[in-house]
Structure 1
Amino acid sequence: MFFVQQLSPSVRRVRLGAAGDVTDTRLPDPAIAEQGRRQLAAADPVACDDLAEAAAGTGVPLVALRREGDGSVTLEVTLGPGEHLYGAYDADAAAFDRRGDHVHLVTELHARGRHEIVDTCDLCDSGPEHLAEHELGLQIGAGRSSNYGELLVPFVISSAGWAIYVSSAWHGAELDLGAREPGVLRYTAPGGEADVYLFGPADIATLAHEFQLLTGRQPLPPAWALGFLQSRFGYENFDHVHRTIDRFETEQLPLHAIVYDVQWVEEHINLRWDPENFPDPAGNLARTAARGVRTLVITEPGTTRAASNYAGGAAVGAWATDADGNEFDSEQWYTKRGIAKYRGIEASPGALLNVFRDEPGEWWYGQHRPLTEQGVDAWWLDLNEPEDVNHTVHFPNTDWPASRELVSGDEVRGIFAIAQQRLFARGERLHTDRRPFMLSRAASAGSQRYGAAPWTGDVASTWADLAVQPRLLLTAGICGMPLTGSDAGGFNGDPGAELYVRWMQAASVLPIFRAHGYMCDREPWSQGEEALAALRPALLLRAQLLPSIVSWTRQALTEGTPLARAMLLGPLGTEPGSDDALAYAADTRWADCHDQWFFGPLLVAPVMQAGVTHRRVELPAGTEWVDLWSGESHAGGGSIEIEAGLDVLPIFLPRSLALVVDPEPLAGRGQHWPPPDLHVWSYAEAGATATTTFYLDDGVTRLHEQGAYCLQRIAATGEVCDVE
């Protein structure tokens, strides 16, 4: 027996309950946003014996939804010849078109099968003095050394005009996209109940948009978060940070935030600044803020039993247990390996936060409030897969997503990250007036509505890993997560000058732009003067375009669509379901295209191969495209071959588009938002007009949610600029 609920004309839920009735005995899916929950509550379930009838009218060729004799769940969809599949985020994806791939729906950091995992913690043995010996770096062999972060989103779009989302966080589920049987998409899970959301029939842009609405829109981030974020493992002390900002000022480079890795914290992750290396945090953070630089700090989902805040957490029931109620011994990086080795202190068993309980969650966020008062602006949520947690972990007395006496880790592991993100977002809204923003290594469907900005994890500094990043981030956008990024330059290893420049260029036209690396410099000057000169134009352009990027981000989030957009979606402003949307989806050039994309309305085509100084760019039909750097014009609909030396990041814009820019976006100018001066760039020909819609607010607080913002239409004709 199946139970069908029609949420909207193009979204339907089909459910197979464990007991064969409509009773919802499992945990509610936290991916579903408030609007979707209201729709579910309002839609009476209709019983149906025939699966084909249950899926009728959606375009989804659903042929099986059943519970096997061992309690596992199977779902099957028929795939047609020439059909393309998109979404189903997976770090091991072989291509942007997912047809023929296989996805393990796990959030276990070391579960990936493709990458050679190198335990780099031994490099911490000699202590922090190695952080100053940047030439040591990491010696990466022929294999890749990448610990990719996890985005758990079992959402798949078909070029045939349908999509499915499987509502299950059960650890160990698999999604086969035609790898084993070319004509079958198959989902299997060891347990749980089977909810599948059917979308369609519609074009690809509409299907992605509908999923974004179902799982929730991302709140607008602070303006600085869309600038350049400098990070490393790690800044040794406040003097190191101040020297770094000095160098940015000397080099006349933009800088919007410094990101602190684990070096900032006192021993055993007790959420206090290390008093020896980071004294007077309020004074030092005020000093960096006065120079226009914001602060993010890393935080982990737990602590150690030797930490000063362990007992306080135990008193409020903050820690996960085993099935018998004994405290679970968490073996995350910060407990028995990384911090202990780095600090030269005795290792301690770890305590994992029960992120599914409200009272401990409030206590845990409260541990972070002094940091906010000292000047920390946002959070970096690390190791929230969670890392190295086995099947014995349990979470007692949960409040969210439902009240339960005891929940097994296998059942909720896939939603651990979103539960943690919810705690932080709620704390930010209750105790601050700022916009929730958090870098996060793990995420699942719906994480975006809590302000999470996932990155792709600890990727290796190789050309192969650079090539993977746009594919992953464009897929994340299709899966409802519009603000994502990667460690520019790669996390593990020394990229060398050419790879570093090319990675920074590509990252500068993706939503979150952060340079980060392990035991190696990632600052713009780290690869020498020639490399700095080559990447300077892209770094400056990102900062100059920040007023426009904020406007584009606001538009994308309001419309429920990605900021960095696969070519098959069309540029920002392409209305789902329109003739333009249909034309982009039908253009065969974009079926597996991920080496060029739209960043808002801009067409970008970074070079991501070694030794390449020319590249081919495919131009969409229907408009005239102008090279942003040279002003050279190209007709749409064909391809061009362009010179792309190391200092060139190919960018094209429609001639009809105007850009609002900050002419002097340099570090040290102070925290001015909006910038004191704004200019308009236009390539409009004589007698023609270039336009844009410009959004402006205070860039930090949530007052825009109450209407405190300005939305202006700007039209530029020659040297005349009209503002409405």
Structure 2
Amino acid sequence: MQSDMQTLINEQFPNHLLKADVNGSSVVFHSHNGVMLWVEAITNHVMRFRYSAKGYFSPDFSYAMAKDHRSGFAYFKVEELDSYYELRTPKLSCRVQKIDLKVSLYNEEGKLLNEDEKGFHWEEDSQRGDNIVKMSKRSINGEHYFGLGDKPSNLNLRDHRFQNWGTDEYGFAKDADPLYRNIPFYYGLHKEGCYGVFFDNSYRTFFDFASERKNVTSFWAEGGEINYYFIAGSSLMNIAQRYARLTGKPEMPPKWSLGYHQCKWSYSSEEEVMEIAHKLRELKIPADAIYLDIDYMDGFRCFTWNKENFPDPKGMVQRLKDMGFKTVAIIDPGIKIDMDYSVCKEGFEKNYFCKHADGPLYKGKVWPGDCYFPDFTNPEVREWWSGLFKELIEDIGLAGVWNDMNEPAIMDVPTKTFPLDIRHNYDGNYCSHRKAHNVYGMQMSRATYKGVKKFAFPNRPFIITRSTYAGGQRYSSVWTGDNIATWEHLWVANVQCQRLSISGFSFVGTDIGGFTEHPTMELYVRWMQLAVFHPLMRTHSSGDHGDQEPWSFGEEGTDLVRKAIELRYQLLPYHYTNFYQYSRDGKPMIRPLSFYDHQDPQTWYRQDEFVFGDHILVCPVLEPDRQGRRMYLPKGHWYDFHTKELVEGGKEIYIETSLEEIPMMVKAGAIIPMIPVEQHVSNSYSELELHVYRGEESVESLLYDDAGDGYNHNQGYFLNRNFTVLPSDAKYRITQHQEGRMPSSVKEVTLVYHGFKSLPKVVELDSDPFEVTIQEEKNGSFSFKVAEDFKQITLRWG
């Protein structure tokens, strides 16, 4: 921001209202000095605000928004009063002051959620010929802030300042900013309520959360418009789901993608790849995917193979498939300048590469040397790029694609990226790189997704990307980038994945153990335990400092890592159900404690613990030589997953844990599905355990399944089990409601009960007495088998 004196001279503000034009669900306000404010009701809970100081609005175009983000509202009323206009939906009201167009927003109870401080203002940028556009809002006493994507700092954003400008930051430090992804969305939380703000502007954007001025939060951009969506909700979870409705939700992934993935820079020959595969199977370490980094290519030329080191790629991929492995290969945006290379020649001839403002093609240096770069903001280029995957996917048989270096990253230049004068199509909204930079990686992953989806059909696509923008979750998973093998980076990994999850990107993971440098055995084990609860579970390392496969830390380390990965596979039905809730409802898969109970002030600054799905609380060990740690339990009752001990929540406790285990708790009343360990994901399972944790209140649990691949689930070919527990003093009842057309592959399930002081005297199946053989388990638990399609199981003690 400018100095105070410069600000007084340069900043300009709207003055008093000239007129207001009401048109259906929107109002355009005009000030006497030409400022325009367009307020639009998107849904009952969401309003959009656009400001222009130019006397007109640019074409309304966004890469972030889902096609169906407008879902309607019951009514939209506009009322003129003496000093302001009031705009109301059933859940949200907005007041626009006539004197200066400042806005204040209230929930349905009339409580103030958010109000402008300076409000909209701007500063002319004569050097660029554009305006720096700004918005300042009052920070309510005790207000806290969350979101903003992959920032590697405290989960609570208050008292910090950030920027969004996709940047390749090798070995990034804690608190480094900016990083790879650009997600201009945040939550506000205070005593009167909570809300979300999505600032949909793809220029370099900035956010100040009461850092410069303690009572002010502001956001601004180096061009474009102040264009933001205000989202109201009764909880942070409500807001997360409404943001997902705005920017889109992903399709269900192939089930195998939720297994363990093994990657390294680089498995540089077919022989080495097969050695890795055989070792994983020999040591019975479950795994589903092996990755190929840039060394599989011919001179780092995308869509080619190094035929010396990979003489039979199709045969290799098939042999891996026969062993239960999927193959994922990297593709970068840099296309080596070589007119004997068909991709370069075709892109050149069709004018698909990025250019300078005065016409010449842009040339930048990355792994192949001098490269051209496709303009992925051009729909014709995206269509061409999608078609390039035919051989890799349809012919060779790759199951997924990994997009890297797409910030875009350029070597040997101080800015690390394209010059700002590079021109882009931007889907017909022609612009410079200043506007297109933050969406470049997203549009690359979009084109990749389309190609993989087309050529993998009838299977589902799997994409992983490093750089993206809000809404990019529709196309790809993400990982957090080039981290370091340190305990501090284990802490960072935990926070980044929580933050990305609540910013719309739940399909997220980290380079387990660190990409650069080399972890100790203890650090690698603790990182692997954390990654059990990251939807993308992938080891990836540079290999410069030693091997980083699961067996690289001796026999003890191998056993501990295997145990962690086996837990992941046992919990696969829970993971898949969690993803279904993310895909269907927009629920973040990884949830900070504040998203579990935002009314508990103790959760506002907690960042180690998180809730995974509806019912599992995880608190990773983040320091060396620890045999236990303190953790905060939200209100309610919780069971220690390992000991089955019942603990009352609403307080901090000390939990002992060995290196073999990650501290984790299960909500009382929950039902957790588990299956036997598999060496790779099978799309159906014949054995199923339902772990029932006794509670005093009615709790619902969900178990979703489908074919694990393909698209028949969209035509009702799935099986959704809804369980409800109904406890009382003398009995404990579970009801099950099934929906969907897919028959179950499980013939009978094992019900495992935890937390009961004695065995039941009577078991009833669908209200009739049921003769069962009850097996007593350790820790006071017991189990018995029952038909998978039961409607009601009742245990009686009286």
Aligned residues: 654
Q: 1:200 to 1:516 in 2, by over 3 A?
A: same
In structure 2, the CA distance between the partners of 1:682 and 1:318, relative to structure 1 (3 Å rule), is: same
Amino acid at match of 1:531: G
Instruction: Output aligned runs, 1:206-225, within 5 Å.
Output: 206-225=238-257
* SS of structure 2 residue aligned to 1:615: strand
Number of the residue aligned with 1:455: 479
Please state whether the residue corresponding to 2:468 is helix, strand or coil: strand
Counterpart of 2:406 (choices 381, 384, 396) is 384
Q: Select 2:672's aligned residue among 615, 637, 659.
A: 659
Counterpart Cα distance in 2 of 1:109 and 1:497: 28
Distance, in Å, in 2 between the alignment partners of 1:529 and 1:50 is: 73
Q: CA deviation at 1:564?
A: 1.0
TM superposition score normalised by structure 1 = 0.85
Secondary structure, counterpart of 1:72 in structure 2 = strand
CA 1:90–1:691: 2 relative to 1, 3 Å: closer
Q: Which residue of 2 aligns with 1:196?
A: 228
Where has structure 1 moved over 6 Å in runs of 4 or more? 42-48, 143-148, 686-691
The residue that corresponds to 1:412 in the other structure is 436
Aligned to 1:360: 381
- Residues 146 and 178 (structure 1), Cα distance of their counterparts in 2 relative to 1, 3 Å cut: closer
User: Which of 434, 456, 468 does residue 443 from structure 1 map onto?
Assistant: 468
The corresponding residue for 1:607 is 621
Which residue in 2 is equivalent to 1:650? 663
Which residue matches 2:93? Answer: none
Aligned-partner residue type, residue 614 of structure 1: G
For residues 109 and 709 of structure 1, what CA distance do their matches in structure 2 show?
41
Amino acid at match of 2:683: W
Number of the residue aligned with 1:673? 683
Given the two structures, how large is their TM-score scaled by the length of structure 2? 0.78
CA distance in 2, matches of 1:262, 1:153: 28
Deviation at 1:225, TM superposition (A): 0.9
Aligned ranges 1:379-528 → 2 under 5 Å: 379-387=401-409, 388-396=416-424, 398=425, 400=426, 402-404=427-429, 406-431=430-455, 432-450=457-475, 452-519=476-543, 520-528=546-554
Describe how 1:552-591 pairs up with structure 2 within 5 A. Answer: 552-570=578-596, 584-591=597-604
Q: Closer, same or farther in 2 for the Cα pair 1:240/1:429, shift >3 Å?
A: closer
User: For residues 43 and 232 of structure 1, what CA distance do their matches in structure 2 show?
Assistant: 55
Say if 2:152 and 2:495, in contact at 8 Å, map to a contact too: no
**Structure 1 residues 681-690 or 387-396, which shifts more?**
681-690
Conserved? CA contact 2:502–2:590, under 8 Å = no
Residue from 571, 575, 592 that aligns with 1:545: 571
Give the direction of change, closer, same or farther, for the CA distance of 1:9–1:50 in structure 2 (3 Å limit): farther
Report matched runs for 1:30-429 at 5 Å: 30-36=63-69, 54-57=103-106, 59-63=113-117, 64-70=119-125, 71-93=131-153, 95-110=154-169, 149-160=179-190, 161-171=194-204, 173-200=205-232, 202-306=234-338, 307-331=341-365, 333-336=366-369, 349-373=370-394, 374-387=396-409, 388-396=416-424, 398=425, 400=426, 402-404=427-429, 406-429=430-453
Q: What are the superposed Cα offsets for residues 336-363 of structure 1, whole Å, 9 maximum, x if unpaired?
A: 3xxxxxxxxxxxx111111012222222
Contact 1:438–1:453 (8 Å) recurs in 2: yes
Residues 231, 260 of structure 1: 8 Å contact kept = yes
Partner residue, 2:642: 629
Which amino acid is 2:69 matched to? Answer: G
**Residues 487 and 50 of structure 1: is their aligned pair in 2 closer, same or farther, counting only changes over 3 Å?**
farther
* Equivalent pair of 2:702/2:721 in contact (CA under 8 Å): yes
Deviations 1:614-641 (A, max 9, x none): 1112222223x22222222223333332
Give unmatched runs, 5+ long, in structure 1: 118-142, 337-348, 571-583
Structure 1 CA distance, aligned partners of 2:37 and 2:320?
59
Cα distance change, pair 546–686 in 1 and its aligned pair in 2 (3 A)? closer
1:661 is displaced (CA, Å) by: 2.4
**Runs (5+) with no aligned partner, structure 2:** 1-35, 79-86, 88-95, 108-112, 126-130, 410-415, 724-733, 735-750, 754-782, 792-798
1:135 aligned residue: none
Q: Distance in 2 between matches of 1:67 and 1:106?
A: 20
CA contact (8 A) 2:302 2:331 kept: no
> In 2, Cα distance between the equivalents of 1:456 and 1:208?
20
* 1:5/1:684 CA distance change after superposition, 3 Å: closer
Alignment-mate amino acid for residue 549 of structure 1 = H
Q: Deviations over 1:651-681 (max 9, x none)?
A: 21124323332313125xxx63113x22214
Distance 1:48 1:620, change over 3 A: closer
Structure 1 or 2: larger helix share? 1
Which 10-residue stretch deviates more, 689-698 or 595-604?
689-698
Q: Check the 8 A contact 1:60/1:198 in 2, yes or no.
A: no
Report if aligned partners of 2:290, 2:327 keep a CA contact under 8 Å in 1.
Answer: yes
State the Cα deviation string for residues 2-23 of structure 1 (Å, max 9, x = none): 11101112211111125233x3
Q: Is the 8 A contact 1:682 1:690 kept in 2?
A: no
Structure 2: distance between partners of 1:541 and 1:515: 16
- CA positional deviation for 1:49: 5.0
Distance 1:149 1:281, change over 3 A: farther
CA contact (8 A) 2:256 2:682 kept: no
Determine if contact 1:52/1:62 at 8 Å carries over to the other structure: no
Deviation at 1:208, TM superposition (A): 1.8
Instruction: Tell me the amino acid that sits aligned with residue 11 of structure 1.
Output: V
| RMSD of aligned alpha carbons | 2.7
Give the structure 2 partner of residue 10 of structure 1.
Answer: 45
2: CA distance, partners of 1:163 / 1:144: 25
Native 8 Å contact 2:166 2:178 kept in 1: no
Query: Deviations 1:209-268 (Å, cap 9, x if unpaired)?
Result: 211111111211111111111111111212111111211122111001111111111113
Return the alpha-carbon distance in structure 2 between the equivalents of residues 271 and 317 of structure 1.
19
Q: Measure, in 1, the Cα distance between the counterparts of 2:402 and 2:718.
A: 28
Residue identity in the other structure for 2:651: G
Higher RCO by CA contacts (8 Å cutoff, separation 6 or greater)? 1
Are the equivalent residues in 2 in contact too, given 1:148–1:458 (CA < 8 A)?
Answer: no
Are the equivalent residues in 1 in contact too, given 2:150–2:500 (CA < 8 A)? Answer: no
Contact 2:159/2:209 (<8 A) preserved: yes
For residue 289 of structure 1, report the CA deviation from its aligned partner. Answer: 0.6
Q: Deviations over 1:459-514 (max 9, x none)?
A: 01111111011111111111111111110000000111111111111111112111
Instruction: Please tell me whether residue 697 in structure 1 is matched to residue 694 in structure 2.
Output: no
SS at match of 2:388: helix
3-state SS of 1:549 partner: helix
1:51–1:62 Cα contact (<8 Å) kept: no
